[in-house]
Chain A
Amino acid sequence: MTNTPARNTKVMNRFDLTRRLVAGLKDEAVIGGIGNTNFDLWAAGHRPQNFYMLGSMGLAFPIALGVALAQPKRRVFALEGDGSLLMQLGCLSTIATLAPKNLTMVVMDNGIYQITGSQPTPAAGHTDIVAVAIACGLASSSWAADEDDFERLIEQSKQAAGPTLIGVRIDDKPGTGTTRRDPVQIRERFMHGMGVRQLL
């Protein structure tokens, strides 16, 4: 595995990619995984359609799947780290089976548990997460070669006939902001953003 496609892709930055994603959004839902993925989502500018996980490592994609099933007309993006996804690889098979076409998954892959001290994940250097996703049945899975390719893949996913997974290699930088850790308010605002609840 010395020549995986992952190694031919540019090493990008999580916050920069998150900003690029958020800049093009209207009323789409975005689920940010534990730690840096949701810190950078927060830092890219809070919007009521964002949901920030404060624990439950590995559940960004399952939560996004639930949103996608409940609201099939709304595009749902999920941002997850490679270490987090390793906690819950089985969800890729579930998502491939249910195949919601309104779900776009982004895996931010730096091969490390950045937030706990940058220890390498067990997959670092050996496991190609996009190849894993394809083998799970997610045919529209690919590595983004660079920032332009990332934006192109995001756009392409909006027209896709099934779920899309985009792998991005990122650097070892920590998250840019810190999400306000108020779970009830996060959930309440998200439900408002999803149009299912009015704020008090």
Chain B
Amino acid sequence: MVTFDASKFNLPFMKYRKIAYAISLTAILLSIGLLVVKGLNPSVDFTGGLVFQIRFEQPVEVVNVRSSLSEVGFGQATIQAYDDHDILIRLQAEDEEARKVVLDTLKQSLGDFTVQKIDKVGPVVGKELRQQALISLVLALAGILLYMAFRFRFRFGVAAVLSLVHDSIIMLGMYSLTGKEISVTFIAAVLTVIGYSLNDSIVVLDRVRENWSQIRGKGPLELVDNSINQTLSRTVNTSVTTLLPVLAMYFFGGEVISNFAFAFIIGIVVGTYSSVYIASAIVADWYLRSPKY
């Protein structure tokens, strides 16, 4: 039944940890750079505004939609085409009139359509949703930290937290890079991924702890390497089995779910890498600098 046993390979992970640090550091710096320069693309949930998803009966071009919107003063709207019938329009407008004006204008110039979706978020609600998102991020992180403080010894906890911070920054960087929308569902995805990617760290670090009695003979690098290799097949397999349905969501789940799945894909991939490399390498290097437990 055993088709494959990853621990047999005994891969020398720690040998390449400096390279991994360099990659991670670069990714983090790039992400922070992107966040500063390009920023994120918050959805109407947070900015307030108006989104229409419209299915036209006749094929339409984005250019035509834009020109007819310009006539009524909404030339700066974000217009996106899913296909030649389906258009997404996003604009910053507070009053009820804007909705009617936009729909009337489009009907006049581009023919009949059905409104698939309207999202209108007023500035007050946008502000509230921003606050809620912030509070839930802080609370969830606090909860997870508390749990880890109770679960891990100090150094292991710090290592796991650092790898979570690493994951989160890179995830935000990817969202900045791709310009994907930060919506309320993104916050949900981030929190879930943070909770989830901790699993891999727990699996690896638990094994390090179990093997800790061999620290004098093997030294931290070999010990960590052994631990990673012993747990490698479960780290990889749990990530793969979670990734499979998430990929199915990304490719077949439709617009909203696909956006949601994107966060999970990044989170799972980066999270798996960081719990193998970042969390355990930090534990090993820390011991090398000050050999305490």
Instruction: Say if A and B assemble together.
Output: no
- B interface, CB within 8 angstroms of A: none
